[in-house]
Structures are given as structure tokens and as C-alpha cells.
Structure 1
Amino acid sequence: MGHQTLLLRTVEKAKELDLPSVVVTYYPNPSVVLGKKPNFKYLSSEREKEELIRGFGIDYLVVLDFTLELSKMSAEDFLEKIMIKTLNSKHIVIGYNHFFGAERRGDFNLLNSNKTTYGYAVELKEAVLKKESKISSSLIRGFLEKGEMEEAKILLGRNYHITGLVFEGAKRGRTIGFPTANIKVPEDKLLPAIGVYACFAKFGGKDHKGMVNIGHNPTFDGLGLHVEVNVFDFDGDLYGKEIELEIVHKIRDEKKFSGLDELKNQLTKDKEESIHILNFD
């Protein structure tokens, strides 16, 4: 929601000034390159980010390759070389918690003190609050890591998405009437808390209702972390295809069952609850 206000304001101001709207971002995340968070997990892939930004009506997305060399560029050089000489910025909208340049010295104050020199205007977007908490990616991560999908949705403005390729699994689900597609999710994608979720599965240009288990399959080998989706009322080959999961609600925690009959009974209940939830989403 915080980024949404920035994007909306940027589009609004660009139309007012009859100028193209541009968003500048980085990849990889600076904390990865600088070694502060080598196992950093992303909320959105670069493709998802591009689609989301395009959806707000932004004209251009500039993704800077964040390198050690770029991290050493002074804030003044970043402003002059990238924001002025490369992008010819005339009006800059910056978030309260955004910094640029070496040692994170670039901020609203630095931009404001240089606006006359370079002939641009600048405005600061303050934090958007939710129950007295500043909306941030950290707050969203916290909700996802607890499986609180509805709270995350409010801040994201949409359900959380996971995308990956289907690969061949052990095929145990089909023996009890609940075939699953095993999804290979990029290692740097943040997964919600371990558990069973109601979801929509999108492939072939269509949305299908389903439920997804994110966990270790404790009833079987209990090894590794798996993302397995049971797509309701579908009986086809998905191997090698890309599936996008829209995760709606956590139904329950993962648990170990005494046998296949107990597991099947629970999955039947999970499916009924998922259908009820998805019919009202």
C-alpha cells in the first residue's frame, strides 16, 4: 500500500506536467550484494514487479543492476549522472524510507537542497499507517511468515502470488484421490508459513480453485520443503508448465497423520473448506 501511493502520485503528477512517468528500482536487492542478507527472499519476482508497476499506468520502469561499484557511487553523483543526465528528471517523488548513494546519504533532504541547482521539484511521501504501524515490506513479510494472508492482502492490495514450474513428484496424492502438482519455486522467493492454504491456480489462461500444501510431508518422508497444489476438478498433465498460485487463506497447520485414511479424510475436509472460502473471495 505504501508503494501504491508512490506510484499513483507519480502517475498523477506526470499527467499534470504532461511528462512520462518513470520508476527507478534496483536488482539484486542491495542487502544481497553487500552481504548483509545473503539469503534475502523477495516478495515479487522481477516479472511480477514489472506487471504490477505497469498496472498502475507507469510509462517506464528502469531497473538498475545493483553492483558493488554502484554501491560506492556518492549520492551527489547518483543524482547528477542518473537522475538528471540520464533520466532528465523534472519532478521527483520519494518515499520517506528510500535512500540512495554510498552510505545511504541520498534522501529527501539532499534532493531538496539540490533542486534549484538542477531545476527540478521534489516531494516526500510520508509513511502510510495501519493501526499505528508504518506499512513496509517488513510488515508484509511478518504477516506472510505467520500465514496471515488476509492481513498481507490488505497491505499488498492483492492476494500473495507464487509462481513456479511443475515437476514430477512421488505421485502419492493420486493414490488417495488428491493428485498434486509439485511446483519448483525460485529459492529467493518468500514462502508463507508452513501449512495448508486455499488458493487459486492459474495456468492455460484460466483460474482454477485449489488448495496448496507448503511443508515437509511429515506423513511420508518429512524431508525437504515442498509446494504441492491440488487443483479441483482438473485431470490433465501439468508437467513442465508454469503455474501461478494466488494464496487466499491459511486453513490449518501441517500435521503428521497416522495413515492414508486419516490423511484422506482431512484432505476432504480441507477441500470443502477451501471451496467455501474461494466462493466468497
Structure 2
Amino acid sequence: MKIIKNIINYSEHKNSAVTIGSFDGIHLGHEKILKKLKKEAIKDNLLSVIITFDPHPRTILKNEKSIKSINLIEEKKDILKKFKIDIVVIHPFSKSFSKLSSLEFTRDILVKKFKIKKLILGFNHSFGKNREATVMDINKFSKELNFQLIEVKAKKLNNLNISSTLIRNYILNGEIKKANLNLGRSFSFSGIVVRGFGLGKKLNFPTANIKIENNKKIFPKSGVFFVHAIIEKKQYFGMMNIGNRPTLNRKKKSIEIHFFDLNMDLYGEKIEVFLNFKIRDEIKFSSLKELQKQIIIDKQRCINYLSKL
């Protein structure tokens, strides 16, 4: 898979099949589109090409600086590799780019630059200035500019259209099982293990304190979660607390993980953590002893779950 930064750097001579979108989360709905893209490209000996954007268009168009991504751009690249797409173009979305009309984008970029023969889009896709062009408009362009438009129907789960917005809401609200079902895999994040206050060790539940270096990533609100990580090619399960640790009257949000059966120094290591489900909300306990009792209960719940796998 070839990565090209910025549309202006695309210079392939072969005709292409293209899909366009933010592809945040690369969920089961996106997967349906990407598989169709690959199939259509192979059928007519075309390059399979994804045009995606960084930052997320909504941060520019609607000034939604608070929008967090399910996948950061490096995570997105890694996930896309499994689809064996020929080329992924990551374009820096900007206000000037957003002012291109749908006709200009289709004619000057897709047709002239990308030599498009097939355009594969989701059922509700729109693009161009103010998202002016619907699938119906793009279908009209396809006839005038000699390419085929293929519309992929929505992927549904429990009678709801799978979407990045829906999944972001699930993650934010701690509905991890629902998020994972829509993603088709476990939601994950990466961070560096740093030193904490050592309280977990005193409670006989040593924790890995995780520092997140990119604040664009979405995280659930406070709570305790059942998680796993792959460390030195081995899978370890554990419990993660995200929150302000109210029992200790802390104000700064932190991420701490107690891994079961892990006995190694992780300080300074970058690890990827996968969320399985939420155990409970974060609670303020009357004492550290009460907190310790609850942690024992939480761990037993996780062990009981593992015994059923």
C-alpha cells in the first residue's frame, strides 16, 4: 500500500477506482465500501485508491475543535493495510480546499488527475463546497465525464446504520461492546507507560500509568474497563481506570491499568490497549480499604468472564 501525502503529489498514469471519505474508525460500513473498491478495481485492472483527509473536515468546516477521532492517522494507515488497497492519498483538509465546487473536484481532480473510471461511495455521501453534491448529482457528473458511479448501501446493525458518529457516541458513553460490534474489532489506543504515585502497588494492585501523547483521540468518560494488551507477543488481560480518582481527591484525569499475571517493568514502553467492556462507573469510596475491596470484586468479575471464553 502506497501512501501519498496531498492530492497534488498524485502522479499515477494508470486509470483508477476511487473512494473518498474521512473513514474515521474504519468500521464495518467502511469495510463494505473498501471491499467493493478492491473488487471493482481488480475486475477492470484499475488502481484502487482511497482519498482521505487529515484533519477531520468537521474541525475546519464547522470549527468543531472538540471532535475526537476513533483512529489517529497512523492507526488508520495500519488498519487500511489489511484491505490491500493500492494507494491511500491523505490530503490536508483546509478552508480553501473546501471551497472547490463539486464539479471542479470531480472534473479537475477525480477525472483529470486521478483518471477515474469508477467512483465507489457510501449511500449518503456528498462533497463539494457546502457539501452541495448528493449521490444524484454525482451520478449526473458520471454520465457527463465518462466514469461509473457505484453506490454502496448502508451497513446496518440492530436496525441502525453503522456510522462513525454513532461509534464515537458509544465510546464516549462507555458502551464499548456496542462500539466494538460496529467497528468489527476492539477499540484501542496507544500510550507510554510512565511512573505514577505508587498507590496501586500499596493496595496490592500495581498499575501501569499511561501517558497519551495525542489529544485528538477519543476516550470514554470516566469508568473502570476490562481490557487486554499484546506485550512482547503475549496477550495480557487487565482492568483499566479512566478518571480523576475521586477517592484520592485528584482533579487531573489519568489512565491506569492493572494487568493480571504480568510481572515485568513496562516503564518507558509504548503499548496498545484494547477495550473489551465497561465494568462500572468511577466511584468515590469512603476509604482506601473500601476501594481495595471493590477492586477485588472487579477483578473477580473479569476472571469469571475469562473462564467462560
| TM-score grouping bracket, smaller chain normalisation | over 0.9
CA contact 2:200–2:206 (8 Å) conserved in 1: yes
Deviation sequence 1:71-120 (CA, Å, 0-9, x none): 11111121123212222111111112222221112332232112233321
**Aligned ranges for residues 77-226 of structure 1 at < 5 Å?**
77-185=104-212, 186-226=214-254
Question: Using a 3 Å threshold, how does the CA distance of structure 1 residues 279 and 5 change in structure 2: closer, same or farther?
Answer: farther
Deviation at 1:9, TM superposition (A): 1.0
Q: Which of these residues, 32, 47, 52, is aligned with residue 74 of structure 2?
A: 47
Structure 2 match to 1:231? 259
SS in 1 for 2:141: helix
Structure 2 match to 1:277? 305
Unaligned runs of 5+ in 2: 1-27
CA contact 2:103–2:141 (8 Å) conserved in 1: no
Deviation at 1:161, TM superposition (A): 0.7
The Cα RMSD (Å) is: 1.7
Deviation sequence 1:137-167 (CA, Å, 0-9, x none): 1211222222221111111001111111222
Deviation at 1:175, TM superposition (A): 1.1
Structure 1 match to 2:291? 263
In the alignment, the residues of structure 2 paired with residue 97 and residue 116 of structure 1 have an alpha-carbon distance, to the nearest angstrom, of 20
The letter of the residue matching 2:239 is M
CA contact 1:115–1:122 (8 Å) conserved in 2: yes
- Name the % identity: 34
Q: TM-score, normalised by structure 1?
A: 0.93
SS in 1 for 2:248: coil
CA contact 1:149–1:249 (8 Å) conserved in 2: yes
Q: Which of these residues, 229, 234, 253, is aligned with residue 281 of structure 2?
A: 253
CA contact 1:209–1:275 (8 Å) conserved in 2: no
Structure 1 match to 2:45? 18
Q: Work out the number of aligned pairs and report it.
A: 281
Deviation at 1:35, TM superposition (A): 4.4
Of 269-278 and 14-23, deviating more is: 269-278
SS in 1 for 2:247: coil
Q: Which of these residues, 74, 89, 95, is aligned with residue 101 of structure 2?
A: 74
Of 156-165 and 144-153, deviating more is: 144-153
Deviation sequence 1:182-224 (CA, Å, 0-9, x none): 1122211111232111111233333211111111101113312
In the alignment, the residues of structure 2 paired with residue 97 and residue 225 of structure 1 have an alpha-carbon distance, to the nearest angstrom, of 37
Deviation at 1:280, TM superposition (A): 4.8
Question: Using a 3 Å threshold, how does the CA distance of structure 1 residues 97 and 222 change in structure 2: closer, same or farther?
Answer: farther
CA contact 1:203–1:242 (8 Å) conserved in 2: no
Deviation at 1:51, TM superposition (A): 1.6
In the alignment, the residues of structure 1 paired with residue 100 and residue 306 of structure 2 have an alpha-carbon distance, to the nearest angstrom, of 49
The letter of the residue matching 2:280 is R
Deviation at 1:34, TM superposition (A): 2.9
In the alignment, the residues of structure 2 paired with residue 213 and residue 180 of structure 1 have an alpha-carbon distance, to the nearest angstrom, of 10
Unaligned runs of 5+ in 1: none
